[in-house]
Amino acid sequence: MRITRTMLPCLLSAIVAMTASAVPARGQVHDVVVGVTIACPYENAIEGSCWSGAYWALTKLDGVKSVDKAANGYNCTAQVYPKDAGLPDPQKWAAQFKATVDQTYTFRGVEVTASGTVASTDAGLVLTIPGVKDPVPLGPLKNKLQWNAKKKAARQPEPDERDAYDQLAAQLKADKGGEHKVKLTGPLLTSEKGYTLEVREFFPVAK
């Protein structure tokens, strides 16, 4: 078949659509960060020689492909890279981590950044993430993962972080219940009811 200039826009659109459909679900869960607190007499942050034990334990968690070799000492966090698409299980990881390192380190939780579609329901906001089976209920920030090692406490939320969920809900209400595509970051929690994702920050994604 001969391809003419008038056919090129259609062909390019088809190629773009095929490429987009081939993007794995992992592309919608962009970042997975874990919080780790150390109990090391020679360090007051998750850096230096005391980090090696935590690094080794994180690499042994189910579903973890790799871990950044350097931790974030300011927030006492570390970036991990799961093997598969979908969301990790924070409770399972916490139990496995403790079984490996006992009391030397504390696994504080997991924060994820994911792209999806936010919608309003009778129970509140939910985020539908491509590749994740069920919509994830959203909530306001109550368990900030970032840690102040000197104060031995979670860092206080910034005003925009504290109000992020309400701001997102207000945007949906202004659009009369329409759906929003967003890139959202916050602590990921699990319970017998399933996942909950607390909204620390979000950014609109062009439709």
**Tens-digit pLDDT profile for residues 151-167:** 999 999 999 999 999 99
pLDDT band, very low/low/confident/very high, at 18 (cuts 50, 70, 90) = very low
Q: Please say if the pLDDT value at position 142 is more than 50.
A: yes
Q: Look at residue 119 in the predicted model and tell me its pLDDT.
A: 93
Report d(CA 16, CA 147) in Å as an integer.
42
Report d(CA 106, CA 57) in Å as an integer.
11
Nearest to 86, CA basis, from 66, 109, 112, 107? 112
Residue 157 exposed, middle or buried by CB count within 10 Å (0-12, 13-18, 19+): middle
Q: Report pLDDT digits (tens) over 176-200.
A: 766 789 999 999 999 988 999 999 9
Which residues, in sequence order, are CB contacts of 126 under 8 Å at separation 6+? 118, 119, 135, 136, 137, 138
Q: Look at residue 205 in the predicted model and tell me its pLDDT.
A: 87
Structural domains in the chain, CATH included, are: 28-204 (3.30.70.100)
Contact predicate 147/74, CB 8 Å: no
Q: Look at residue 186 in the predicted model and tell me its pLDDT.
A: 98
pTM over 0.85: no
